[in-house]
Amino acid sequence: MALIVQKFGGSSVADAESIKRVAKRIVDTRRAGNDVVVAVSAMGDTTDELLDLASQVAPLPAPRELDMLLSSGERISMALLAMAIHSMGYEARSFTGSQAGMITTADHGSARIVDVTPVRVREALDEGAIVIVAGFQGFNRDTKDITTLGRGGSDTTAVALAAALEADVCEIYSDVDGIFTADPRVVPLARKLDHVSAEEMLELAANGAKVLYIRAVEYARRHGVLIHARSTFTANEGTYVLGEGMAHPRHAKKETDVTDVTGMEEPVVAGVAIDQSQAKITVVGVPDVPGSAAAIFALVAKTGANIDMIVQNVQSASPGRTDISFTLPKPSAAEVLKVLTAEKETLGYENVVHDDQIGKLSVVGAGMRTHSGVSLTLFEALSKAGINIEMISTSEIRISVVVRNDDVHEAARVVHSAYGLDSEIEATVYAGTGR
Ligand code: ASP
Ligand code: MG
């Protein structure tokens, strides 16, 4: 008998019909002889609606109260789901995050899980019940207050429960079939991956892939949790996210040696991700002397902006001066421009330019460590498509470029094709948000 943790996102429990469908899915898993613990998100767009409501009564809602409000979304779906399971003749018990022992830091709106003490969850399992836990929320021991984990936090709830309960697998259900080589809404010939390494998944998530939340993948990697990302709408196998030393269950069952795990060589590139949430700021004509970059980024750091790519280039037109460009989340740009403009005299630069029409494309693959010429394929594909590259950055297993935002979808398609990732058939895209 296995212990399976299942997570259902908001789009999977959007209305009464969907809740009944999910309940059936859970009962089927139980009937197959497994213990089942479920983490559930708020119904549909509930969290957004609650946020909207809060902003109507207060311009800056008190963080403690906002968490009280937002955590109620998951209480609605957990209770309804438990009721639906009951009416199918199975014992089900719902628990809030704090009842389930999700202990977090005190940071309202972005709390991190520091401990999981699922005493009541275990008791309920021992008594034969299916357990439903409200996702996205926890409890801080010092303040004794309810916290939330940040948007999309139910993935993390599920993974943390799976780790604490030593579950066999953590199944994350959404309205897509698994993890694809690219977003199928952008690249119709994207292929579903059979498995992906946790390190590749982290890079993909950090660079714009929305199918799994980065914190959940991090937690899974640290605690050795096997994630299976799959669809609520089909019984098909999805994608396994494999941490170090883990094997795909289908292969792990066979007592074959490791070289047989996939039967073929891993592709160099696992996937292509795009990120359209960033802006670019260029500080033009900075004095090319030691300390200039330090002075600029000291100011930027004070705003709390999360800087991604940085490029510096000596100006050939005016010797002794250099241009520094960097990218950052669009909402952070206004504040950064303000501090840079205020210090124009002291920094001694000529001009500052803001550009919010950029798109970032990243290619991720662990095979880059051992293969050469991987970036050339990317550059040639973009060149053939007439797409201009504005910035380039690389890590050990990733190459990213900044292009015009209008070009980024086309760029994703040509690059996907250039790496031989295209499938013969178009991916099925269900209506919905992907969550
Ligand atoms: N309901 C929360 C949100 O919409 C948490 C989640 O869906 O995972 O962000
Ligand atoms: Mg949601």
Q: What's the confidence (pLDDT) of residue 434?
A: 47
The residues, ordered by sequence, that sit 6+ positions from 431 with a Cβ below 8 Å of its Cβ are 175
Cα 177 to ligand 2 centroid, rounded to whole Å: 18
381 φ, ψ (degrees, to nearest 5): -65, -40
Q: What's the confidence (pLDDT) of residue 258?
A: 46
Nearest atom in ligand 1 to 136's CA: 5
Residue 363 lies in a domain: no
Instruction: Locate the DSSP E strands across 17-101.
Output: 35-40, 92-95
Is it the case that residue 260 has pLDDT exceeding 60?
no
Q: What percent of the chain has pLDDT over 70?
A: 95
Rounded to an integer, what distance in angstroms lies between the CA atom of residue 154 and that of residue 281?
34
Q: What's the confidence (pLDDT) of residue 313?
A: 87
Cα 14 to ligand 1 centroid, rounded to whole Å: 12
Tokens of 88: 């199918």
Is it the case that residue 401 has pLDDT exceeding 50?
yes
| Cα separation values, 258 from 229, 243, 248, 252, Å | 23, 15, 11, 9
Residue 232 lies in a domain: yes
Amino acid identity for residue 119 in this structure = V
Question: Average pLDDT, whole number, for the chain?
Answer: 93
Q: Which ligand is in closest contact with the Cα of 155? A: 1
Q: How many domains does the chain have?
A: 1
Mutate to test the pocket of ligand 1, among 77, 151, 211 (most ligand atoms within 8 A of CB): 151
Res. 251 pLDDT band, cuts 50 70 90? confident
Instruction: Locate the DSSP E strands across 330-369.
Output: 351-355, 358-364
Residue 286 lies in a domain: no
Is it the case that residue 261 has pLDDT exceeding 90?
no
Nearest CA to ligand 1 atom 5: 152
Is it the case that residue 222 has pLDDT exceeding 80?
yes
Rounded to an integer, what distance in angstroms lies between the CA atom of residue 149 and that of residue 155?
10
Residue 126 lies in a domain: yes
145 φ, ψ (degrees, to nearest 5): -110, 160
Cα 13 to ligand 2 centroid, rounded to whole Å: 10
Q: What percent of the chain has pLDDT over 90?
A: 86
Of 23-32, 41-50, 243-252, which range is least confident? 243-252
Cα 74 to ligand 1 centroid, rounded to whole Å: 8
Res. 430 pLDDT band, cuts 50 70 90? low
Beta bridge partners of 399: 363, 394
Mean pLDDT in residue range 246-271: 67
Q: Which ligand is in closest contact with the Cα of 39? A: 1
Pocket lining for ligand 1, CB < 6 angstroms:
9-10, 41-42, 47, 73, 135-136, 151-154
407-428 confidence digits (pLDDT tens): 999 999 999 999 999 999 887 7
Q: What's the confidence (pLDDT) of residue 259?
A: 45
Nearest atom in ligand 1 to 435's CA: 7
Q: Which ligand is in closest contact with the Cα of 70? A: 1
Q: Which ligand is in closest contact with the Cα of 50? A: 1
Cα 148 to ligand 2 centroid, rounded to whole Å: 12
Mean pLDDT in residue range 151-176: 96
Res. 253 pLDDT band, cuts 50 70 90? low
Res. 319 pLDDT band, cuts 50 70 90? confident
Mean pLDDT in residue range 121-134: 98
Q: What's the confidence (pLDDT) of residue 431?
A: 54
Is it the case that residue 432 has pLDDT exceeding 70?
no
Q: Which of 74, 94, 84 is nearest to 22 (CA)?
A: 84
Cα 226 to ligand 1 centroid, rounded to whole Å: 21
72-97 confidence digits (pLDDT tens): 999 999 999 999 999 999 999 999 99
Q: Is 149 in contact with 133 (CB distance < 8 Å)?
A: no
Q: Which ligand is in closest contact with the Cα of 76? A: 1
Res. 402 pLDDT band, cuts 50 70 90? very high
Residue span of the structural domain in which 18 resides: 3-265
Looking up residue 188, the CATH number of its domain turns out to be 3.40.1160.10
Q: What's the confidence (pLDDT) of residue 255?
A: 46
Nearest atom in ligand 1 to 74's CA: 1
Is it the case that residue 257 has pLDDT exceeding 80?
no
Mutate to test the pocket of ligand 1, among 51, 71, 154, 211 (most ligand atoms within 8 A of CB): 154
35-79 confidence digits (pLDDT tens): 999 999 999 999 999 999 999 999 999 999 999 999 999 999 999
Residue 364 lies in a domain: no
Q: What's the confidence (pLDDT) of residue 249?
A: 86
Residue 106 lies in a domain: yes
Nearest atom in ligand 1 to 154's CA: 8
186-199 confidence digits (pLDDT tens): 999 999 999 999 99
Q: What's the confidence (pLDDT) of residue 210?
A: 85
Nearest atom in ligand 1 to 9's CA: 7
Nearest CA to ligand 1 atom 9: 151
Rounded to an integer, what distance in angstroms lies between the CA atom of residue 292 and that of residue 269?
37
Q: What's the confidence (pLDDT) of residue 296?
A: 97
Q: Which of 118, 130, 123 is nearest to 78 (CA)?
A: 130
Q: Is 226 in contact with 234 (CB distance < 8 Å)?
A: no
Cα 73 to ligand 1 centroid, rounded to whole Å: 9
Mean pLDDT in residue range 303-326: 90
Residue 301 lies in a domain: no
Mutate to test the pocket of ligand 1, among 47, 74, 81 (most ligand atoms within 8 A of CB): 47
Q: Is the pTM of this model over 0.85?
A: yes
Q: What's the confidence (pLDDT) of residue 41?
A: 97
Residue 396 lies in a domain: no
Mean pLDDT in residue range 339-366: 96
Cα 199 to ligand 2 centroid, rounded to whole Å: 25
